[in-house]
Amino acid sequence: MTTTLTSQPIAINIDGKKSAAKLLENTAQEVCQLKQQGITPCLAVVLVGDDAASHVYVRNKLRTAEQVGIKSIELRFDAQLTEARLLATIDELNNDPAVHGILVQLPLPQQINESAIVRAISPVKDVDGFHPQNAGGLVQGQRVITPCTPLGCLLLLQEYGGDLSGKHAVVIGRSNIVGKPMASLLLHAHCSVTTLHSRSRDAAQLARQADILIAAVGQPQMIDASWVKPGALVIDVGINRVTRPDGSTRLVGDVDYDSVSLVAKAITPVPGGVGPMTIACLMQNTVLAAELQLQQAAG
Ligand code: GUN
């Protein structure tokens, strides 16, 4: 008898859609409870310019808000908007007691200083968790509004990886939106954390030591099996649109799913992995923001 050796994918596919649906059910219940106290959580989403991907993300956020009973307001501006006008809009939203969460979709046109905009949003309405007060609070382990994507990644890791304590987590990427807050969250979950970036030496060799590997580099399919320890949990934060030879396009992550799924224990697909969790966490953050403002009002 002859045996044919074939490579079979062995990794568990981490179903972000399913996990997000569970989270959204909980959020919808919390929204109901707030409504019983006379508060309808409200999320204001500001979209500047005509970046196609941003339009898709904002549409998904607004649709999900409606699904869980969160009121939403969409404010659209053309790409010529001035920084002063955007700051004035944020000021109005900060002072509107009916608005609990403010999200300014990034990236912004180049004439607008992103950091000035992020700092202008009231920290209790900052549902992205990007304000320096929230970013600093996260580093110090305070109960603050936490960036949605890293929070979604952590929830998936806890669901599929159990207790993370003592595990070696490697985060590839050091952005303020994902890499840095992700490293803080993993540290609070008692992981040993390594952050890799474009200047890291021997990055693949360091990544191969990870029990948990988070890829947030923005490079299509850069992380192949040679970066992954057998049995690792792999979370792919990347969403990259690539063009096929026939001119059509498709979405791929930062991880080469086909090769990595032969060695990893579990892996998130793109789409359908981290993306739905990011949006579900945004809804959860909007509820948290409404609760924080309720507490603040009660003194
Ligand atoms: N652009 C890409 N990701 C994000 C995000 O999480 N929040 C905002 N505001 N803009 C983004």
* Residues 169 and 216 sit within 8 Å (Cβ to Cβ): no
Q: Is 126 in the pocket of ligand 1 (CB under 6 A)?
A: no
Q: What six digits make up the tokens of 22? A: 């569970």
- Structure confidence by residue, pLDDT tens digits, 211-251: 999 999 999 999 999 999 999 999 999 999 999 999 999 99
This prediction's pTM: 0.96
Residue 8 has a pLDDT of 67
Mean pLDDT of all residues belonging to the chain: 96
Find all residues with CB under 8 Å of 164, minimum gap 6, and list them. 157, 158, 186, 189, 190, 191, 212
* Ligand 1 binding pocket mutation candidate from 58, 61, 86, 106 (most atoms within 8 A of CB): 106
- 69 pLDDT exceeds 70? yes
DSSP at 193: E
* CA dist., res. 174 & res. 176, Å (int): 7
Q: Is 104 in the pocket of ligand 1 (CB under 6 A)?
A: yes
Which band of pLDDT confidence, cut at 50, 70 and 90, is reported for residue 6?
low
* Domains identified in the chain and CATH numbers: 38-122 (3.40.50.10860), 147-275 (3.40.50.720)
Residue 299 has a pLDDT of 83
* CA dist., res. 179 & res. 265, Å (int): 22
* Residues 292 and 285 sit within 8 Å (Cβ to Cβ): no
Q: What six digits make up the tokens of 99? A: 């608005």
Nearest atom in ligand 1 to the alpha carbon of residue 106 is 10
Angstrom distances, CA of residue 28 to CA of 10, 33, 98, 137: 35, 9, 19, 27
265 is catalytic: no
* CA dist., res. 239 & res. 54, Å (int): 12
Q: Is 285 in the pocket of ligand 1 (CB under 6 A)?
A: no
Sign, Cα dihedral of 236, 239, 242, 247: positive
Residue 154 has a pLDDT of 98
